[in-house]
């Protein structure tokens, strides 16, 4: 009998959702928009954090830069020899990197490394995620490993071009000249996000493109000895080289997560405003109510329904709208992120000059995110509708029916 009673109350509540379709649709549309915005942002933010953490874990333990007047400038490669002498340093290798394009106006990241030194570090960045072809070798000059994003951009250009192993691409140098490179490898499409829009080549070729002198580089990548205290090594370098800015892996992670987290936070502020508007709408509709809805409460009370039954009906109404709104919002967010590439939102949160396409956006769907979405969709709506319903339900039925 108890189960049948609750089933009948739920059925009646669903009928009310359809009966008051204008009010239900207004709340539902607002919920769908708010949850879609929340999910779309969280899928990107969580994917970015997971991918960023994985990439940093494979990167150097310490990055050393040079500051002049508070701004980063090139480093004399001689610094490498000095830094290598510090206790706890296993390898210090120079890197030259910056931005260039391939003639279509899209800026790409170009990084030059010492292939031999990079290859000596087990699982160093890039050596284990080449999907097609090979990584750089010691004798390579004007060779490159390109990210999947460059393949996608070239395939989607006005004059489509297939980029694969053996293809030749020309990069525009700092002074407007062209330097031709041969592609020897392509990073796998599911590689770390750092490689998606990157050209990896030897350090001298990168210097020629970016305008660096061969005696300078952008920074030093340092790996510490196994078991060494990375912070102690970093402090030692910082004390001995006053002009240096020393960043440990944890410091880089904190900076990047704060940067991307702040951008996602602005979007979160927007969805919270939308959600509050929906809650206020639900509260206003439930508080004011229509004469028909108020008579309905009176009739239910006169027919023997008690206050708990009426509250249960209102709870079923709110839960059904909340579940439907959250489910539709999650579904739309999946379509928007996974199938459409999150146009606009991805570019804002990631802040990259290359708009990621064809699955390039790092995305993660986690159980805590889904739980949070359903919670923020259900709890505020329940509070906004059940409290006014309780006030109506405790009113004597004859008073309600007389309209007093």
Tell me what the pLDDT averaged over the chain comes to: 76
Confidence check: pLDDT of 353 > 50: no
Whether pLDDT at 220 is above 50: yes
| Per-residue pLDDT at 299 exceeds 70 | no
CA distance linking residue 347 with residue 303, whole number of Å: 58
What's residue 264's pLDDT? 61
Among 47-51, 236-240, 291-295, 398-402, name the most confident range.
Answer: 236-240
pLDDT band at 404 (very low <50, low <70, confident <90, very high): very low
Least confident of 90-104, 129-143, 380-394: 380-394
pLDDT above 90 as % of the chain: 7
| For residue 123, pLDDT beyond 60 | no
Has residue 354 got a pLDDT over 50? no
pLDDT above 70: percentage of residues in the chain: 69
Integer-rounded Cα radius of gyration of the chain: 30
Give the span between the Cα atoms of 374 and 378, in whole angstroms: 6
Q: Which pLDDT band, with edges at 50, 70 and 90, does 143 fall under?
A: very high
Cα separation, 136 vs 126, whole angstroms: 10
- Residue carrying structure tokens 């990073």: 187
Structure-token match 């990107």, residue found = 44
In the predicted structure, residue 206 carries a pLDDT above the cut 70: yes
Helix (H, G, I), strand (E, B), or coil: what is residue 142?
coil
pLDDT at 95: 92
> Is residue 340 pLDDT above 70, yes or no?
yes
On whether the CB atoms of residues 268 and 374 are closer than 8 A, the answer is: no
Tell me how far apart the alpha carbons of residues 101 and 314 are, in angstroms, rounded to a whole number.
60
C-beta neighbour count of 274 within 10 angstroms: 17
Rounded mean pLDDT, 298-320: 70
Residue 356, pLDDT score: 43
Q: Which residue has the higher pLDDT, 399 or 278?
A: 278
Range of 104-113, 251-260, 363-372 with top mean pLDDT: 363-372
pLDDT for 359: 45
pLDDT for residue 401 is more than 80: no
Residues 6+ apart with CB under 8 A from 45: 260, 261, 264, 349
**Which is more confidently placed, 339 or 209?**
209
SS (H, E, C) 317-354: HHHHHHHHHHHHHHHHHHHHHHHCCCCCHHHHHHCCCC
Instruction: Give the residue, 17 or 303, on which the prediction is more confident.
Output: 17
- Which of 112-121, 150-159, 288-297 bottoms out in mean pLDDT, i.e. has the lowest? 288-297
pLDDT value at position 361? 66
Least confident of 51-55, 348-352, 354-358: 354-358
Residue 203, token pair as written in the block: 């350090």
* Per-residue pLDDT, 296: 64
* Crossing angle of helices 21-58 and 249-288, rounded to 10°: 170
């Amino acid at each position: 009998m108890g189960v049948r009673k609750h089933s009948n109350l739920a059925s009646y509540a669903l009928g009310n959702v359809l009966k008051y379709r204008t009010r239900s649709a207004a709340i539902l549309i607002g919920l769908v928009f708010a949850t879609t915005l929340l999910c779309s942002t969280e899928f990107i933010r969580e994917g970015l954090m997971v991918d960023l953490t994985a990439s940093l874990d494979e990167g150097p333990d310490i990055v050393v830069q040079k500051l002049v007047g508070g701004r980063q400038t090139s480093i004399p490669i001689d610094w490498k020899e000095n830094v290598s002498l510090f206790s706890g340093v296993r390898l210090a290798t120079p890197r030259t990197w910056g931005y260039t394009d391939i003639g279509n106006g899209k800026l790409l990241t170009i990084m030059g490394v010492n292939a031999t030194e990079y290859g000596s570090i087990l699982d160093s960045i890039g050596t284990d995620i080449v999907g097609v072809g090979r990584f750089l070798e010691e004798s390579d000059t004007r060779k490159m490993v390109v990210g999947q994003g460059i393949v996608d951009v070239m395939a989607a250009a006005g004059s489509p071009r297939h980029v694969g192993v053996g293809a030749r691409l020309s990069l525009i140098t700092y002074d407007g000249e062209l330097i031709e490179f041969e592609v020897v490898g392509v990073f796998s499409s599911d590689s770390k996000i750092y490689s998606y829009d990157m050209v990896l080549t030897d350090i001298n070729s990168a210097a020629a493109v970016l305008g660096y002198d061969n005696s300078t580089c952008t920074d030093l990548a340092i790996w510490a000895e196994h078991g060494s205290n990375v912070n102690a090594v970093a402090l030692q370098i910082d004390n001995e080289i006053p002009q240096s800015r020393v960043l440990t892996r944890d410091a880089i992670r904190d900076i990047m997560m704060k940067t991307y987290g702040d951008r996602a936070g602005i979007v979160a502020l927007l969805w919270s405003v939308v959600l509050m508007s929906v809650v206020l709408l639900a509260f206003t509709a439930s508080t004011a109510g229509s004469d028909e809805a108020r008579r309905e409460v009176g009739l239910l009370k006169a027919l023997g329904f008690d206050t708990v039954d009426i509250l249960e009906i209102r709870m079923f109404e709110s839960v059904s709208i909340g579940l439907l709104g959250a489910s539709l919002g999650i579904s739309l967010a999946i379509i928007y992120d996974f199938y459409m590439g999150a146009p606009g939102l991805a570019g804002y949160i990631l802040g990259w000059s290359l708009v990621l396409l064809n699955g390039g956006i790092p995305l993660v769907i986690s159980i805590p995110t889904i739980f949070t979405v359903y919670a923020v969709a259900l709890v505020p709506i329940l509070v906004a509708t059940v409290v006014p319903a309780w006030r109506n339900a405790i009113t004597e039925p004859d008073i309600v029916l007389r309209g007093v």
